[in-house]
Amino acid sequence: MAKKRQDIATLVNKLPDPDEHGLLSVIDKEVVENVIDELRRGGPVRQAQGQLRSLRALIDMLAVPGEGEDFNPPDVRRIKARYAIHVWAVKVCQNAEKDRRLFATTLASQLGGDRPKPVQEFLIQQLQVAGHQEVVPALGKLLCDDELCDAAAMALVAIGTGAAEQLRAALPKAKGRCRLIILQNLGVVRDHGAIDALREAAHDQDRENRVAAIWALANIGDSQSVDLLLEAADKSQGWERIKATKACLLLAENLMTAGKKTEAKKIYSHLADTRTGHEQYIREAAESPPPPKGGG
């Protein structure tokens, strides 16, 4: 096994070295592609499950940024293993579904364990490139991890399918920054199943949570939240008022697009009637809104 890993390291070391400024300015396309193709074939010693073994060997080489000097040559751990995994991630997205799935599930299997969090974060970011629904449960488990919830949420919403269920399930347990991230991304994925929780969060003690929840309800287009959003916009000041008012206009546009004209007009009428002085531009926006998307 150690011999195998050294073979993989020797292969990875063929990837280009950074120049004196740290740039990959001297880089041969064919060399890089050949190294990655060779890795995907299992490396120099082609064994059963070679692809899986070389991928795991690469993951083992990953170092926390700033570390990795304990390897000879150090650039393999610090730089080249990262580059190799990323190029691999991009390659398997090109007409190689079986390989892509193997790549994604292998990376996902390394999450949640003892690997350093920055290494796990890098793996999550590669799943944002190449992961599909098969890695969604593994990402969902990280949504309450203070150090990984940002990356996990970004990967989940990039993947899309299945993200809403994971975000919704994690919300009751999430605290602090993780809670904010989940509230916002429930809006990004337009999760109708989270509307009750978002309405509750619209009254949160934390300003950022309130703003995120109100925007999420608007982006989902929840017709039952018209009064809640108008009240939030009327009562708040400063930045929160700006964002709550934007949420009102966004909700009105989404309601118009959904054919719910009565609810949309209630928002527009209220803003037109109440916004004066330095908020006159809001009145003007409410009086002549953009046409519904899709002509609906």
Partner 1 sequence: MQKSKRISRRQMLKCSAKAVAAFTIVPRHVLGGAGHTPPSETFGGALIGCGGRGNGTFNDMGLNARKLAICDVKFLDKEDNQTVYTDYRRVLERKDIDVVAIATPPHWHALISIAAMEAGKDVLCEKPMTRFIAEGRAVAEAEKRYKRIFQVGTFGRFDVSRNPQNILTHKIMKSGLLKECKAVHIKRGGLKVKEWSGMVNVKPQPIPTYLDWDMYCGPAPLRPFHPHRFGGSHRGYWDYEGGGLADMGQHHFDPIQWIFAKDDTSPVEVEAYAPPAHPEACGMWGWVELKYADGLTFVMDSTEWPVPGKPSYDRKEPRDVSLSDLSEQDQEKIKQMPDPEPLVNFAEAVKTRKRAGGNADAAHRSATILHLANIAIRVGRKIKYDPVKDQIIGDEEANRLVNQPMRAPWHL
Applying CB under 8 A, which residues contact partner 1?
Answer: 18, 21-25, 27-29, 32-33, 36, 65-66, 75, 78-79, 82-83, 86-87, 90-91, 93-94, 125-126, 128-130, 132, 150-151, 153-155, 157-158, 177, 180-181, 183-185, 187-188, 208, 211-212, 215, 238-239, 242-243, 245-246, 249, 253, 276-282, 284-285, 288-290
Q: Between 61 and 180, name the residue whose CB sits nearer to partner 1.
A: 180
Whole-number minimum distance, CB 24 to partner 1, in Å?
5
Q: In this structure, what token pair is assigned to residue 69?
A: 């000097």
CA–CA distance from 159 to each of 56, 117, 125, 198, 275 (Å)? 23, 21, 11, 22, 40
Whole-number minimum distance, CB 18 to partner 1, in Å?
5
Whole-number minimum distance, CB 1 to partner 1, in Å?
27
Write the DSSP symbol of residue 279: G
Whole-number minimum distance, CB 150 to partner 1, in Å?
5
Distance from C-alpha of 167 to C-alpha of 191, rounded to nearest angstrom: 9
Q: Between 4 and 87, name the residue whose CB sits nearer to partner 1.
A: 87
Distance from C-alpha of 267 to C-alpha of 277, rounded to nearest angstrom: 19
Whole-number minimum distance, CB 154 to partner 1, in Å?
4
The answer to whether the bond into 73 is cis (omega within 30° of 0) is: yes
Q: Between 110 and 184, name the residue whose CB sits nearer to partner 1.
A: 184
The Cα angle at residue 47 between residues 44 and 52, in degrees rounded to 5: 90
Q: Between 8 and 212, name the residue whose CB sits nearer to partner 1.
A: 212
Q: Between 154 and 169, name the residue whose CB sits nearer to partner 1.
A: 154
Q: Between 94 and 196, name the residue whose CB sits nearer to partner 1.
A: 94
What's the gap between Cα 111 and its chain centre? 16
- 235 burial class (0-12, 13-18, 19+ CB within 10 angstroms)? exposed
